[in-house]
């Protein structure tokens, strides 16, 4: 017979050892959602939360006989807070699964918590290749940054853009993406004229763009975090690079769906590679976009939002496969090899790396029905992280 004293003792053990309460005792499965809801990366949190809510609205809040409860916590984009919150969610709230993590350092910070508690964490946003080996309990539904860079490199050479300057933000994802593009571009026979890295905290791209213009390449390949894409585009236009015949290509972060209309006409004609466009033509995406717009004052979902949606898809699929068993190791095993048709298209969780395998689309910014959209025109299927062999 389980007494109150026994339960108190179990709670004390959880506090000391980061061990979650027994799954059999829980009819409700708590999922801890850790996102930057305030601070400079709040748009990421807002989008991921919208994706999570859209999935629940379209699919219900029960799976495998268990009720799903989302426990949202704001880490403000600060890694120390992310780790503390993860620990509190597991120990105090009894969360059986975590998801979110808007930036690489935030995801990295929770690895020790996952390893000790044996609780899975689905990454909805962070993209650096180095994250996944930090814990066997990480699974990713966003992307590995270089995935989107490799098709852009192939497309560039195929379209006679053979001399390119790379310009990336100088932090983990930027370096990963630079490497992915450069390796593929050289393999295809292209030449990197110059590799420019911009300090992450420096909002002024003008002097770096002047270096690009002086190098007279066929194109500049760009990665900057989505939140500063509009500033980059403005300065690209002001510096007259397009008039100088320099083509702008890059990953989809620079033409983020959420911000694209705010960037304005300067974005027209920009070619990017990415895993999602709000205009992706499928029944799954139309339902997803409609639900997000309905529930969030007509907000257009972006790639962060679909990362949240697919994290919930994966969580539900894993719980179905385990018949509601929330043992962390069993859940991760159930996630390996999972495949489904997302609003972005067909995706798979690589059983060897727990990372996502997905189609990457080449897109051009065009005006559609009075709004700017990333219009897909070519597909590179089943792309893995090229930085992981």
| Nearest residue to 321 via CA among 101, 63, 32, 5 | 63
72-86, 189-203, 305-319: least confident range: 189-203
What does pLDDT average to over the chain? 92
- What pLDDT, on a 0 to 100 scale, did the predictor assign at position 365? 97
Write phi, then psi, for 15 (nearest 5 degrees).
Answer: -65, -35
Residue 22 CB neighbour total at 10 angstroms: 11
Query: What's the start-to-end Cα distance of the chain, in Å?
Result: 52
Q: What pLDDT digit, counting tens, does each position of 8-55 carry? A: 344 444 444 454 444 444 489 999 999 999 988 899 999 999 999 999
pLDDT at 3 over 60: no
pLDDT at 200 over 90: no
pLDDT at 328 over 50: yes
Strand duo 163-169 + 62-63: pairing: unpaired
- What pLDDT, on a 0 to 100 scale, did the predictor assign at position 202? 66
Coil/strand/helix, residue 235:
helix
Token couple for 108: 């990295």
pLDDT at 83 over 70: yes
- What pLDDT, on a 0 to 100 scale, did the predictor assign at position 70? 98
Q: How far apart are CA 344 and CA 282, in angstroms?
A: 8
């Amino acid at each position: 017979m389980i007494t109150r004293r026994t339960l108190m003792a179990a709670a004390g053990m959880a506090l000391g050892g980061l061990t979650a309460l027994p799954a059999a005792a829980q009819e409700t499965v708590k999922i801890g959602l850790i996102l930057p809801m305030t601070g400079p990366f709040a748009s990421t949190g807002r989008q991921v939360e919208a994706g999570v809510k859209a999935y629940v609205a379209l699919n219900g809040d029960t799976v495998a006989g268990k009720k799903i409860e989302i426990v949202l916590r704001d880490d403000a984009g600060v890694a120390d807070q992310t780790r503390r919150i993860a620990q509190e969610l597991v120990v105090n709230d009894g969360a059986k699964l975590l998801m979110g993590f808007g930036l690489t350092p935030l995801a990295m910070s929770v690895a020790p918590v996952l390893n000790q508690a044996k609780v899975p964490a689905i990454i909805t946003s962070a993209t650096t290749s180095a994250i996944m080996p930090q814990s066997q309990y990480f699974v990713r539904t966003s992307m590995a940054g270089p995935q989107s860079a490799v098709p852009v490199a192939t497309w560039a050479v195929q379209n006679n853009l053979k001399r390119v300057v790379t310009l990336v933000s100088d932090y983990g994802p930027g370096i990963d993406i630079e490497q992915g593009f450069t390796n593929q571009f050289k393999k295809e026979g292209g030449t990197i004229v110059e590799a420019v890295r911009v300090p992450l905290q420096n909002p002024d791209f003008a002097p770096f763009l002047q270096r690009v213009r002086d190098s007279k390449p066929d194109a500049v390949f760009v990665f900057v975090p989505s939140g500063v894409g509009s500033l980059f585009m403005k300065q690209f236009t002001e510096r007259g690079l397009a008039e100088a015949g320099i083509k702008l290509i890059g990953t989809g972060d620079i033409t983020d769906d959420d911000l694209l209309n705010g960037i304005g006409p300067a974005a027209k004609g920009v070619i990017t590679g990415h895993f999602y466009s709000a205009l992706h033509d499928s029944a799954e995406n139309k339902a997803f976009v409609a639900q997000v717009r309905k529930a969030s004052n007509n907000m257009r979902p972006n790639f962060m939002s679909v990362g949240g949606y697919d994290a919930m898809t994966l969580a539900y699929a894993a719980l179905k496969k385990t018949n509601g068993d929330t043992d962390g190791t069993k859940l991760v095993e159930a996630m390996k090899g999972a495949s489904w048709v997302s609003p972005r298209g067909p995706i798979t969780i690589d059983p060897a790396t727990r990372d996502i395998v997905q189609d990457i689309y080449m897109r051009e910014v065009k005006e559609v029905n009075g709004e700017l959209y990333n219009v897909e025109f070519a597909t590179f299927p089943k792309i893995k992280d090229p930085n992981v062999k």
